[in-house]
C-alpha cells in the first residue's frame, strides 16, 4: 500500500520561517500524551539519520516525539489498522513521515513495499487508545452507550454484536475466560445466550447490564463488565495472535544495535512480550549432546535492555491509565 491509499496523501513537511524546526498541525484531539512517552522514545536511542517504525500510531504522540528527535535525513514509518488514526495522521505535515493503514503483523510487507530493508527501531504501544474508548460509536467502552462493534478497523471482520449473535455458549465462555481472565465466564456466557434469545445484544449498555447481573462480586473500583469487554475486544481483533507475529517481524527487521520497544497494558500481552524477548536473548537451539565449545554456540539474536519499567506515581496520578503499563526493551545483536 502506497502513501496515497495508506492515508498519507498530502503529508508534506517544511521548516518554519526561522528554519528552526518542522511544522506540525496539532489539534486538541491529537494532543493526548501517551503513557511512558519520554521513556519509550528515549529507549529507541534515536539516531538523527535513522529509520524508525511506530507500529501503533494511535493519535501520533509517539510519532511526533520521534520526529522531534530525528534529523533532516531521518525517516519514520507509522502503521495503524484504524482508519480514524490514519486520517488523524494527515495533521503531520513532514516529508520524513509515512503512514500506512495496515495491521502491525504485516510490518515486513509494508516495509518491503516501501523499499526499506532494515530499520533502527520499532515501537509498539499496545491496546486500545483513548480516542477509541471515548468514541461511543466504536463500541469499546461500557461507560458509553453505542453499537457493540469493538473492531479496530470497522471495515474488517464481524463486530462483537455479530459474533455474540452466532457463537455458542461454550465459545463465548471460553473467550471471556481466556482473554479476560474472568472467573465468572460460564455464568456470563449463559446470561448472554439467555438474553439474546429474547432480543439481539446490540449495544454496549445492554451487554454491560447482562454481565452486571451475572457477576456476583468484583474487585473494589472495577466495573463488572471490565474483563468481558477486554476479552471481546482482544478476541474480535485477534490481538494476542497478531502480537507474536509482529514481534518476530520487528526483530528480524532491526539492524544490529536497533531497539525493539514495547508498552503493554495487561498481563496477557506482557507475558507474550516478556517470553519473546527472553527467548531472543538465549542462544539458538542445538542438537542435544553435540560437542560444541561456548564460542561455537549460536549467538542470541538480542539482548534485553534494563528491567521492565512502570510509570511513576506522578504519571499515574495524572493519567490513571498508566497504572497497568509495562515497558520492555530489547536490542538486536550482530549476526556474526
How many structural domains does the chain have? 2
User: Residue 305 maps to which CATH number?
Assistant: 3.40.50.150
Region for 139 from its dihedrals, namely left if φ exceeds 0, alpha if ψ lies in -120 to 50, beta otherwise = left
Question: What is the domain range of residue 293?
Answer: 4-130+239-332
pLDDT digits (tens, 9 = 90+) for 237-293: 999 999 999 999 999 999 999 999 999 999 999 999 999 999 999 986 555 556 656
Query: Quick one: average pLDDT of 311-315?
Result: 95
pLDDT at residue 300 is higher than 90: yes
Q: Where would I find the beta strands (DSSP E) of the chain?
A: 51-54, 75-80, 97-101, 119-125, 254-264, 302-304, 309-310, 326-332
108 and 9 within one domain = yes
Domain limit, last residue, from 201, 219, 236? 236
Q: Please, are residues 302 and 251 in contact by the beta-carbon 8 Å criterion?
A: yes
DSSP structural state of residue 261: E
User: Residue 202 maps to which CATH number?
Assistant: 1.10.150.170
> Is residue 39 domain-resident?
yes
3-class DSSP state for residue 264? strand
> Is residue 206 domain-resident?
yes
Q: Report d(CA 66, CA 228) in Å as an integer.
A: 35
0.75 exceeded by the pTM?
yes
Q: What is the per-residue pLDDT for 127? A: 85
Q: Which residues are annotated as a binding site?
A: 60-62, 80, 104, 125, 132
- Give residue 221's pLDDT band: very low, low, confident or very high (50, 70, 90): confident
Q: Which residues are annotated as a binding site for S-adenosyl-L-methionine?
A: 60-62, 80, 104, 125, 132
Strand partners, 263: 125, 327
Question: Could you tell me what percent of the chain has a pLDDT over 90?
Answer: 78
290 and 194 within one domain = no
Query: Quick one: average pLDDT of 23-36?
Result: 54
pLDDT digits (tens, 9 = 90+) for 157-195: 999 999 999 999 999 999 999 999 999 999 999 999 999
Amino acid at each position: 500500500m502506497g502513501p496515497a491509499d495508506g492515508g498519507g496523501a498530502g503529508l508534506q513537511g517544511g521548516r518554519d520561517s526561522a528554519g528552526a524546526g518542522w511544522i506540525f498541525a496539532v489539534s486538541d484531539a491529537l494532543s493526548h500524551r501517551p503513557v511512558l512517552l519520554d521513556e519509550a522514545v528515549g529507549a529507541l536511542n534515536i539516531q538523527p539519520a535513522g529509520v524508525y517504525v511506530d507500529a501503533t500510531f494511535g493519535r501520533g504522540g509517539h510519532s511526533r516525539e520521534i520526529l522531534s528527535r530525528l534529523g533532516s535525513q531521518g525517516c519514520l514509518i507509522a502503521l495503524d489498522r484504524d482508519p480514524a488514526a490514519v486520517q488523524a495522521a494527515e495533521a503531520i505535515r513532514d516529508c520524513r513521515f509515512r503512514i500506512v493503514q495496515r495491521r502491525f503483523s504485516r510490518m515486513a510487507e509494508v516495509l518491503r513495499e516501501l523499499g526499506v530493508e532494515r530499520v533502527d527501531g520499532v515501537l509498539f504501544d499496545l491496546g486500545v487508545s483513548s480516542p477509541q474508548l471515548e468514541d461511543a460509536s466504536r463500541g469499546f467502552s461500557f461507560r458509553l452507550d453505542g453499537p457493540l462493534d469493538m473492531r479496530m478497523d470497522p471495515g474488517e471482520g464481524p463486530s462483537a454484536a455479530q459474533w455474540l449473535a452466532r457463537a455458542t455458549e461454550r465459545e463465548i465462555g471460553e473467550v471471556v475466560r481466556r482473554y479476560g481472565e474472568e472467573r465468572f465466564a460460564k455464568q456470563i456466557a449463559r446470561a448472554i445466550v439467555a438474553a439474546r434469545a429474547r432480543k439481539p445484544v446490540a449495544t454496549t449498555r445492554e451487554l454491560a447490564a447482562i454481565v452486571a447481573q451475572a457477576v456476583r462480586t468484583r474487585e473494589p473500583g472495577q466495573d463488572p463488565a471490565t474483563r468481558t469487554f477486554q476479552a471481546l475486544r482482544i478476541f474480535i481483533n485477534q490481538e494476542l495472535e497478531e502480537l507474536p507475529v509482529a514481534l518476530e517481524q520487528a526483530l528480524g527487521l532491526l539492524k544490529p544495535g536497533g531497539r525493539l520497544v514495547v508498552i503493554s497494558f495487561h498481563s496477557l500481552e506482557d507475558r507474550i512480550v516478556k517470553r519473546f524477548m527472553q527467548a531472543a536473548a538465549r542462544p539458538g537451539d542445538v542438537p542435544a549432546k553435540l560437542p560444541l565449545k561456548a564460542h561455537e554456540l549460536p549467538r542470541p539474536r538480542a539482548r534485553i535492555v534494563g528491567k521492565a519499567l512502570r510509570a511513576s506515581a506522578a504519571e499515574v496520578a495524572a493519567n490513571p491509565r498508566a497504572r497497568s503499563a509495562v515497558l520492555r526493551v530489547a536490542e538486536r545483536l550482530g549476526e556474526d
